[in-house]
């Protein structure tokens, strides 16, 4: 171990493997308890990812505890050791079977992750080296710590492998938690009905409601400004009125009343159509102006409710992230308190493939 540890490349590779392993333990379930953040937080994707990584602390601790508890309860005996050796001879497989075993493991993970292929592939990536034909000693230790069954070792050997790997596992874990902590956004950014703002911890309700009110007052002013009478829409009806009146007067003045009446009436109707057209345009514009207040007030009320819900979600998110992140202390305590000597006497596992 001392000789291998002098070569940084070997250790660095294992550190990368362990960081990927910790990331694969993330919680890939949708965060259904934060529906408003999901819909309105513009940086929700990174917020969700950081929370998922924080939740990996608990599953990581469970993984490590399982290793130690399983090995600590192991009672060595000649009969049990013989059974273990015979079982290994029967169940271990040839290198030609590796592609099939790899595909089998991928299917198992897809089922385990309830059809989430991305989550299954993330875990599969951390176990990739397990299915290599040849591995170096440090990689064998990592494989054993990840998955003893697939690596062909006993649970006792898995515990020993973990304890020997403890220095770089601990360093990798510190890197993992430092990375997701640095990535979690300091503020939740959101967009509600076109109004873009942010909150630090969800406690700024009074200030944000005031800013939201200012936004809608400004919006109301803009809508009123844009609600000017549409003169461009009455050009044609004005022409109809002028055309109709002119021809009505001309017809009546150039002919006898009785003979020109039907024609003059037709021109007058054209003028009336133009007048009715203008009235409808004016009425529609006036109705829109009267509705602006009600429309903006309705949007403001709905947006205010969304804002309050978003702030409540933010408070809960921050509390949950803090709680899940605090689990990392237990993992660190665990890693700091394991040593290889306590596992050496009971380790009888044998790896399937060792670099020759």
Tokens of 291: 């509705």
Q: What is the rounded distance in angstroms from the CA atom of residue 155 to the CA atom of residue 247?
A: 105
Q: Tell me: the pLDDT tens digits for 253-265? A: 775 555 567 777 7
Instruction: Kindly state whether residues 173 and 256 are assigned to the same domain.
Output: no
Q: How far apart are CA 266 and CA 261, in angstroms?
A: 9
Which residue is it, tokens 């130690």?
A: 68
Residue 161 lies in a domain: yes
- Residue 61 lies inside a defined structural domain of this protein: yes
Asked whether residue 182 falls in the same domain as residue 218, the answer is no
Looking at the fold, whether 86 and 52 belong to one and the same domain comes out as: yes
Rounded distance between C-alpha atoms, residue 110 and residue 349, angstroms:
28
Bigger pLDDT: 31 or 325?
325
- 83 lies in some domain: yes
Residue 168 in domain: yes
Q: Is 253 a member of any domain?
A: yes
Residues 141 and 27 in one domain: yes
The tally of domains found in the chain comes to 2
Residue 331 covered by a domain = no
The residue among 203 and 222 whose pLDDT is bigger is: 203
Per-residue pLDDT, 339 = 67
Instruction: Tell whether 179 and 202 lie within a shared domain.
Output: no
Domain match, 178 and 248 both: no
Domain that holds residue 242: 192-305
DSSP state of 188: E
65 plus 97 within the same structural domain: yes
Residues 91 and 156 in one domain: yes
Least confident of 31-45, 130-144, 159-173: 130-144
Q: Which two tokens stand for residue 56?
A: 């990996």
What span, in angstroms and rounded, lies between the C-alpha atoms of 147 and 144?
Answer: 6
In a domain, 85, yes or no: yes
Whole-structure pTM value: 0.66
- The answer to the question of residue 329 being in a domain is no
Asked whether residue 32 falls in the same domain as residue 141, the answer is yes
Indicate whether 184 and 102 sit together in one domain: yes
The rounded distance, in Å, linking the Cα atoms of 246 and 253 is: 11
Question: Taking phi first (over 0 means left), then psi (-120 to 50 degrees means alpha), and beta for anything else, what does residue 153 get?
Answer: beta
Same domain, 231 and 178: no
143 and 235 both lie in a single domain:
no
Identify the DSSP state of 114: T
- CA 344 to CA 160: how far, in whole Å? 6
């Amino acid at each position: 171990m001392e000789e291998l540890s002098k070569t940084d490349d070997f250790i660095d590779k294992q550190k990368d493997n362990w960081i990927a392993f910790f990331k694969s333990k993330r919680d890939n379930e949708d965060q259904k308890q934060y529906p408003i953040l999901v819909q309105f937080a513009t940086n929700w994707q990174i917020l969700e990812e950081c929370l998922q990584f924080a939740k990996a602390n608990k599953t990581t601790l469970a993984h490590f505890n399982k290793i130690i508890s399983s090995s600590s309860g192991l009672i060595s005996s000649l009969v049990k050791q013989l059974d273990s050796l015979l079982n290994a001879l029967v169940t271990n497989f040839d290198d030609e079977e590796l592609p099939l075993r790899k595909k089998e493991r991928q299917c198992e993970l897809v089922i385990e992750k309830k059809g989430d292929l991305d989550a299954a592939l993330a875990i599969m990536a951390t176990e990739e080296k397990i299915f290599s034909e040849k591995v170096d000693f440090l990689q064998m230790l990592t494989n054993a710590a990840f998955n003893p069954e697939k690596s062909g070792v006993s649970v006792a050997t898995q515990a020993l492998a973990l304890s020997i790997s403890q220095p770089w596992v601990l360093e990798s874990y510190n890197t993992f938690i430092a990375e997701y902590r640095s990535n979690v956004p300091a503020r939740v950014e959101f967009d509600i009905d076109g109004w873009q703002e942010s909150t630090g911890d969800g406690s700024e309700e009074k200030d944000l409601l005031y800013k939201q009110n200012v936004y809608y007052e400004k919006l109301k002013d803009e809508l009123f400004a844009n609600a000017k009478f549409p003169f461009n829409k009455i050009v044609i009806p004005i022409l109809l009125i002028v055309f109709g009146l002119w021809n009505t007067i001309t017809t009546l003045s150039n002919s006898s009343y009785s003979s020109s009446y039907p024609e003059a009436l037709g021109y007058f109707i054209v003028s009336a159509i133009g007048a009715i057209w203008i009235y409808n345009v004016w009425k529609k514009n006036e109705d829109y102006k009267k509705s602006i207040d009600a429309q903006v007030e309705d949007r403001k009320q709905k947006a205010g409710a969304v804002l309050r819900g978003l702030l409540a979600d933010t408070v809960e998110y921050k509390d949950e992230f803090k709680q899940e992140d605090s689990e990392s202390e237990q993992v660190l305590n665990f890693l700091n308190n394991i040593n290889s000597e306590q596992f050496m006497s009971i380790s009888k596992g044998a790896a399937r493939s060792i670099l020759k």
